[in-house]
Chain A
Amino acid sequence: MKVSSQKTGIILIAPSVFLICALLVYPVLYGVWLSFFKKHSFFPEQRFVGLANYLYLLRDSEFWMSLWYGTYYSVSTIVLQIVIGVIAALILNEAFRGRNFVRGVVLFPYMIPTVVAIILWKWLLNDQFGLINYLLLAVGIIEDPLSWMGKDHIMTSLIIISVWEFTKFDTVWLLTQGGGAEKYIRTLPVFAYMRTFMYYQAGLGSTLAVIMFGILIASTTVYFKMFRREEGI
């Protein structure tokens, strides 16, 4: 029996389509559905609340603060990653002695787990015993130790580590573990995580996820439009 090429194609892509639907489409749609409910994160109790979650967040100063921190953090890390990445790529493209070694060193951040990297960075940036402050003091750049993990510099520390590590959410959370200074880098994903897994408010957590999804779609659309316009030129 001969199977048409069309049928063969359908059979071959079916597993992928199934996986995408099960692991991507369904959770997104379920998240949207959940955003209209007041629901405990782990227990079955739930109640339809319509747009109440969205209206609550619009009035919530914590949400707007998270949006601001998230935007500041994302723009800073993306710009720095692009600039530093391009400079590094150009340098590593040149022929020089020890290039292979340097290329290996550049890949180092990818190879170590984020948790390990954060522990190392936390001690490097420790205000009393950290190597960074020690060096900055030794060369006279600063006169007093900087509190890298404190309110005033935690965002800078986060951006430096994120640029080094090329990671996002896990860095934000692992750096503070919900500690005092977490308040000053509470980006939208952290806020959504807290609402879902610490307040046990899955409905509000889903609402935040839907809003983030919306922001992502909007910014991607803008990006593609600009990109296409440039292509046209």
Chain B
Amino acid sequence: MSRKKRYKVIIGSVCLFLLVLAGTSLAARKVINVWHTETNPLSRKAIANIVERFEKLHPDIKVEAEALAWGDLEGKIMAALAAGSPPELSHGQPITCAALQAKGLLLPLDDVVKHIGEDNIWDQIKKVGKYGDHYFGLVHAAGTSLLIYRKDLAKKKGLKNPKTWKDLLHNAKELTLDTNKDRKTDIYGVTIPGDNLFINILLGELTKANGGILFDDQNRPQFTSKCMIEILEFLKELTEYMPPGWEGHGYRETFANMYGAKASMMYQGYGRGASLIEEYAPKHMANTDYFDVWVKPHGPSGTKPAAQVDEEPWMLFKGCKHPQEAIEFLKFFYQDDNYLEYIQTVPIHFFPVTKSLRRSKAYQDTPMIKRWKGWLDVQEYYLDNDLVKPTLVIDWKDMETKPYLMEILGSGILKDMVMEVTKENVPPRKATEKAQKRAEELVKDKGYAKW
């Protein structure tokens, strides 16, 4: 064999050996796929750090964590389930968890709950993922929707926390301002995002706050009810004080109107907006003297305020390759030190689900929590008084009895109804009849109609 040939054989053998080695090493490690919806860089970094520490403790496990936008998540979960290759863990909407659990596609997380200590988890949190005696979902953190307002402007006008929708309309009118006296509005009284998701969240909240229901026990939609007509009439009036074109604004554009001094109130705000205010509002205004929160008002047929709680549960999928390893990862995730790092990435929106962490000094001393405490107090009030429910959930039993809410949300039926009333001047009664028909068809199509 010539020298040149010998070299070639040696190099080839080394490469082959390395390839085999790499392949064996990868094959030996168990890979668990984790999909989550916290796409902001800080949260992604925190998850990456937790994963790194977990992998050090478990060299035989590799965690592939992927941050997904909300819009992509549901479809991706469904496609993965249909293909028979679901991830081990994923975030999801509570109503998605309800739907998948009803189809028998999830595995219980009882071991994780036991490890954390069932008594250590807030009662409100347990309601999201517990079906029968088992936990099929475990919330990663909770945050409620908030009515954010410009405290400085409200103070000047002598406005108080609105108790009813009528009060809110009054405040919206008073806070619609022509600051330079050119007979044009410079600051609009109120704003909401026009996204399908947010309109659905809004309709669920308003229905609760007006003492109504969206579906009866036979799963028949209740969109033509007095409650819904009142909601639509209220929204029609409220939109008079909103920026024109609000229906085309996503959440970030809506919030930009808030910190950019174009709107005085935001009905569908969230605690994570405090970070946006700190980042983008003029420095002297980036505090609770200028941006504060009010408790949401109730409707003419309701008695209590209502808000939505953003609390996506972790779900463990049946048919995944390494469920036990995924459970170990979740136990590690909820350990106080790891969990605190995660919570502190969005502290005004991520309420810890464990009592131990919420009471801990390390958590309470988080600088941003100290700066925006009022925002957390209102959320705590909602959570502790059971005034919040997940999107489109009116009563906790809906989580088990109405697994079609996910499709109702995706269909855009409620959003179209609101647009018809507020943008096309369709009378509320007529718009509700159309929505009722569409929703009845959808519920029948999914096989849940009992009427």
- Tell whether B158 is near chain A: CB-to-CB under 8 Å: no
Closest chain B CB from A221 CB (angstroms):
34
Closest chain A CB from B118 CB (angstroms):
33
> Which residues of chain B come closer than 8 Å to A129, judged between CB atoms?
256, 260, 262
Looking at B5-13, B123-131, B240-248, B317-325, the stretch in contact with chain A turns out to be B240-248
Which residues in chain A, 177-194, are within 8 Å of chain B measured between CB atoms? 177-183, 194
Q: Which residue from chain B places its CB closest to the CB of A61 in the assembled complex?
A: B434
Looking at B38-46, B76-84, B166-174, B293-301, the stretch in contact with chain A turns out to be B76-84
A144 to B423, alpha carbons, bound, how many Å? 19
Which residues in chain B, 266-311, are within 8 Å of chain A measured between CB atoms? none
User: A178 contacts B445, CB within 8 Å?
Assistant: no
Closest chain A CB from B270 CB (angstroms):
17
Which residues in chain B, 204-261, are within 8 Å of chain A measured between CB atoms? 243-250, 253, 256-257, 260
User: B245 contacts A182, CB within 8 Å?
Assistant: no
Closest chain A CB from B130 CB (angstroms):
25
A154 to B442, alpha carbons, bound, how many Å? 28
> Which residues of chain B come closer than 8 Å to A144, judged between CB atoms?
184
User: B256 contacts A128, CB within 8 Å?
Assistant: yes
User: A180 contacts B419, CB within 8 Å?
Assistant: yes
A contacts with B, residue count (CB < 8 A): 32
> Which residues of chain A come closer than 8 Å to B415, judged between CB atoms?
180, 183
User: A150 contacts B82, CB within 8 Å?
Assistant: no
Q: Give the interface SS of chain B, mostly helix, strand, loop or mixed.
A: helix
**When A128-B262, A180-B415, A199-B411 are in contact, do A41 and B78 touch as well, CB less than 8 Å?**
yes
- Tell whether B374 is near chain A: CB-to-CB under 8 Å: no
Closest chain B CB from A125 CB (angstroms):
9
Q: Which residue from chain A places its CB closest to the CB of B196 in the assembled complex?
A: A178
**When A38-B445, A41-B78, A179-B194 are in contact, do A198 and B248 touch as well, CB less than 8 Å?**
no
- Convert B417-435 into 0s and 1s, putting 1 for each residue whose CB lies closer than 8 angstroms to a CB of A: 0110001100000000000
- Convert A119-151 into 0s and 1s, putting 1 for each residue whose CB lies closer than 8 angstroms to a CB of B: 000100011110000000000000011011111
Of residues B103, B195, B412, B445, which shows the largest number of chain A Cβ atoms within 10 Å of its Cβ? B412
- Tell whether A96 is near chain B: CB-to-CB under 8 Å: no
- Tell whether A227 is near chain B: CB-to-CB under 8 Å: no
> Which residues of chain B come closer than 8 Å to A148, judged between CB atoms?
245, 248
- Tell whether B410 is near chain A: CB-to-CB under 8 Å: yes
> Which residues of chain A come closer than 8 Å to B75, judged between CB atoms?
197
User: B81 contacts A151, CB within 8 Å?
Assistant: no
Q: Which residue from chain B places its CB closest to the CB of A204 in the assembled complex?
A: B445
User: A177 contacts B71, CB within 8 Å?
Assistant: yes
A181 to B418, alpha carbons, bound, how many Å? 11
A180 to B253, alpha carbons, bound, how many Å? 13
- Tell whether A33 is near chain B: CB-to-CB under 8 Å: no
**When A38-B445, A128-B243 are in contact, do A183 and B81 touch as well, CB less than 8 Å?**
no
**When A128-B257, A150-B248 are in contact, do A179 and B195 touch as well, CB less than 8 Å?**
yes
Closest chain B CB from A161 CB (angstroms):
13
**When A149-B249, A150-B244 are in contact, do A42 and B79 touch as well, CB less than 8 Å?**
yes
B contacts with A, residue count (CB < 8 A): 38
- Convert B165-200 into 0s and 1s, putting 1 for each residue whose CB lies closer than 8 angstroms to a CB of A: 000000000000000000010000000011110010
Partner of A199, one of B82, B416, B442: B442
A126 to B248, alpha carbons, bound, how many Å? 9
> Which residues of chain A come closer than 8 Å to B256, judged between CB atoms?
126, 128-129
A191 to B246, alpha carbons, bound, how many Å? 23
Closest chain B CB from A29 CB (angstroms):
20
Q: Which residue from chain A places its CB closest to the CB of B415 in the assembled complex?
A: A180
- Tell whether B407 is near chain A: CB-to-CB under 8 Å: yes
- Tell whether A101 is near chain B: CB-to-CB under 8 Å: no
User: A127 contacts B243, CB within 8 Å?
Assistant: yes
A150 to B246, alpha carbons, bound, how many Å? 7
User: B246 contacts A183, CB within 8 Å?
Assistant: no
User: B411 contacts A198, CB within 8 Å?
Assistant: yes
- Convert A27-48 into 0s and 1s, putting 1 for each residue whose CB lies closer than 8 angstroms to a CB of B: 0000000000010011100000
Of residues B244, B248, B256, B445, which shows the largest number of chain A Cβ atoms within 10 Å of its Cβ? B248
> Which residues of chain A come closer than 8 Å to B442, judged between CB atoms?
199
User: A181 contacts B184, CB within 8 Å?
Assistant: no
> Which residues of chain A come closer than 8 Å to B247, judged between CB atoms?
150-151, 179-181
User: A182 contacts B81, CB within 8 Å?
Assistant: no
User: A127 contacts B196, CB within 8 Å?
Assistant: no
Partner of B445, one of A179, A182, A201: A201
> Which residues of chain A come closer than 8 Å to B184, judged between CB atoms?
144
> Which residues of chain B come closer than 8 Å to A197, judged between CB atoms?
75, 410
User: B416 contacts A183, CB within 8 Å?
Assistant: yes
> Which residues of chain A come closer than 8 Å to B250, judged between CB atoms?
177, 179
Interface residues of chain A, those whose CB is within 8 Å of chain B, are 38, 41-43, 122, 126-129, 144-145, 147-151, 153-154, 176-183, 194, 197-201
- 5 smallest CB-CB distances across A and B, nearest first, come from A147-B245, A149-B248, A150-B245, A180-B194, A180-B247
Selected A-B contacts with CB under 8 Å, 19 pairs: A42-B79, A42-B82, A128-B243, A128-B257, A128-B262, A129-B262, A147-B243, A149-B248, A177-B195, A179-B250, A180-B195, A181-B248, A182-B412, A183-B412, A194-B410, A194-B411, A197-B75, A198-B407, A198-B411
Interface residues of chain B, those whose CB is within 8 Å of chain A, are 71, 75, 78-79, 81-82, 103, 184, 193-196, 199, 243-250, 253, 256-257, 260, 262, 407, 410-412, 415-416, 418-419, 423-424, 442, 445
Other A-B contacts than A43-B81, A150-B244, A179-B194, 14 sampled, CB-CB below 8 A, are A41-B78, A42-B78, A128-B256, A128-B262, A129-B256, A150-B246, A151-B424, A178-B196, A179-B195, A179-B247, A180-B247, A180-B248, A183-B415, A201-B445
